[in-house]
A and B are shown apart, each in its own frame.
Chain A
């Protein structure tokens, strides 16, 4: 394994209904992305080895390492130390954007990137290894997609827009051992979480029904009563054009219609 690997940070997830420990959805998507890239993959879990981690082996992960971090201890330094200790310098570290259990602040990938001194690309939907780095497709709100490029040595986080997670195969999941390693932590990295004064089960919060009275609506509201269908359609197209939502062909046509009407 002399080629530079991809490291995937793995955590334990919980089943939403039963609470049973299982693979985390976003981490599984990150692992699927890594396994599909064609490069060698090492999965790392900062914590005690748990049987649910075998789900990741069942997805086709050959090498899974757990680091000895006490509960409530500092995972970031251990992870950074492990990543730096891999003989072939890893090209990419993938992580889920947020954990499913525990404090779930989403800070660990950022602190690991800071400790390693590398940039971070959030919300990656797909990747493609290139000569000197990676081409990422980043998922934007409202279905947008953006193309990014980063040189070797980058951390990327994956959210639910990532590839669908591979199935877990029971045989490979049960076979093999999970490698344990303990990293001598040279320094502790604070997780930057504020002190919690109390915690209780989540309450359902009422959702807003519409824009509140104080929300400024830029633009006027219009009401058309019983227009002809053609007038109604023209109004709709004019509105969509002003919001720049029409597909380009139709937008030009709509502008032509407006000039003639």
Chain B
């Protein structure tokens, strides 16, 4: 008890006597109905009295204003990705390690020089497993793609940011790292031409067991889907782990050093030569593969205008369940939990309020632009650029600007 020992101790009997004297001459309390005989005297709150006693108001420390966690989201200035965090003198504390018990190697895809949500899940998994065994995380990824220290990466081996197909080079670096640091685990995203390819190549070359399509993991076990998605297997976490999307949830971690590491590797020549990317129009792409989706909800009434906007932006058309039910667009255009799960870089939606199932459909989307009349819609909270306006005139202006652009 942190009672002020100097304060005079209340005498409960004296207080009771005082109350009884006061009740003889009733004083009506403000806001309370007073009876003829006794007016209820508000009992003094002993804890309040004690607190007031121990903290004299005149010398009280200035009240620390309560920080509103939501306020930062809207006003946070854009920090360009990849800038190093300020040094420990002025910035957040950085945890440094020198020789941890074990290393976890992580290889995010980092396509187009940016981390996707799948990559962030894989980094989170590596950090969480490393935390359980007091280990460190080495990432092999392009340097400019993200601020790796914030993701808990202790060492960073820079990778060329080009988007070309060069698996032999990556495998040479990974085998050199595996030999030098003998990592306990290597984490890669399960993507067909990226981490899934490198992980399986590495397993075949090193002769190490590999767990593919892992949907949940802990420090010692992994759960993977097999048999066409019908069966789940639990197995001991092997050396190479390929993670499905959403296998781990990113959590706030201590900021780490992300010290640059160089490793020498002598890659053999690539036997499959990359002849470059092919340019494609988004309009004929299936929804599941689309890169840029323009989507309509019930708030859209001018359908020819909406389709013209999608065509002018060379984007793929999507919509919500309500729009499909009303017959405006075919069912294969439905985005959502029971429609298609989409993974575009950008999702521009008009008149969509953001039902949970629809938001599940765009969970992996990087950037969302929403035009809606309802300020409190869930989609507005999800959006990176939210515009509170009627969709129809905005679409008309957008068409005007897009048509007058090539001049």
Contact = CB atoms under 8 A, between A and B. Distances in A.
A binds B: yes
Interface of A: 13-14, 16, 97, 100-107, 110-111, 113-114, 118-123, 135, 137-151, 154, 159, 161, 190, 192-203, 205, 207-212, 214-227, 229-230, 232-237, 239-240, 243, 245-247, 249-250, 252-254, 256-257
A118 B47 CA distance: 79
A143 to B, nearest CB: 4
A259 B375 CA distance: 31
B277 A250 contact: no
B405 A257 contact: yes
Contact of A142 (B146, B345, B388): B345
Interface stretch (B5-13, B20-28, B201-209): B201-209
The DSSP consensus for interface residues of chain B is mixed
Nearest to B228: A100
Contact of A233 (B213, B273, B394): B394
Given A110-B203, A199-B231, A223-B74, A105 B212 contact: yes
Given A142-B343, A208-B363, A250 B405 contact: yes
Given A192-B207, A198-B233, 12 more contacts: A105-B226, A144-B291, A192-B210, A193-B210, A224-B388, A225-B388, A236-B369, A240-B348, A243-B367, A247-B314, A253-B404, A257-B405
Contact of A143 (B150, B290, B371): B290
Nearest first, the 8 closest Cβ-Cβ pairs linking A and B are A253-B405, A233-B397, A229-B393, A147-B275, A142-B291, A143-B289, A229-B397, A119-B271
A187 B215 CA distance: 33
A111 B204 contact: yes
A62 B70 CA distance: 66
Nearest to A150: B272
Contacts of B191: 141
Contacts of A122: 192-193, 196-197
A152 to B, nearest CB: 11
15 contacts: A106-B196, A144-B291, A146-B277, A151-B271, A194-B210, A194-B235, A202-B231, A205-B216, A218-B79, A229-B397, A233-B400, A234-B401, A235-B385, A243-B346, A245-B346
B367 A147 contact: no
Contacts, number: 303
B292 interface: yes
B285 interface: yes
Of the candidates B221, B226, B237, the one having the most CB atoms from chain A within 10 angstroms of its own CB is B226
A254 B362 CA distance: 27
B226 A221 contact: no
Contact of B230 (A197, A202, A235): A202
A226 B111 CA distance: 36
Interface string B388-407: 11000110111011101111
Contact of A257 (B81, B192, B375, B401): B401
A196 B221 CA distance: 10
B236 A194 contact: yes
B212 A106 contact: yes
Interface string B121-139: 0001000000000000000
Given A106-B200, A221-B73, A245-B346, A233 B401 contact: yes
A159 B197 CA distance: 13
B161 interface: no
B77 A120 contact: no
A237 B74 CA distance: 20
Contact of A145 (B278, B286, B313): B278
Contacts of B292: 245
Contacts of B124: 214
Contacts of B274: 146-148
Interface of B: 73-81, 111, 117, 120, 124, 146-147, 150-151, 165, 191-194, 196-197, 200-201, 203-205, 207-213, 215-216, 221-222, 225-238, 246, 249-252, 271-278, 280, 282, 285-286, 289-292, 312-314, 316, 337, 341, 343-346, 348, 356, 359-360, 362-364, 367, 369, 371, 375, 380, 382-389, 393-394, 396-398, 400-402, 404-407
B387 A235 contact: yes
A216 to B, nearest CB: 6
A203 B237 CA distance: 20
Contact of A16 (B196, B228, B371): B228
Contacts of A14: 228
B229 A245 contact: no
B77 to A, nearest CB: 6
Contact of B278 (A97, A147, A221, A250): A147
Nearest to B236: A194
B228 A201 contact: no
B402 A250 contact: yes
Contacts of A197: 221, 234-236
B359 A209 contact: yes
Contact of B204 (A114, A142, A223): A114
B397 A232 contact: yes
Contact of B150 (A141, A190, A216): A216
A192 B394 contact: no
A208 B360 contact: yes
A193 B280 contact: no
Of the candidates A154, A159, A239, A240, the one having the most CB atoms from chain B within 10 angstroms of its own CB is A240
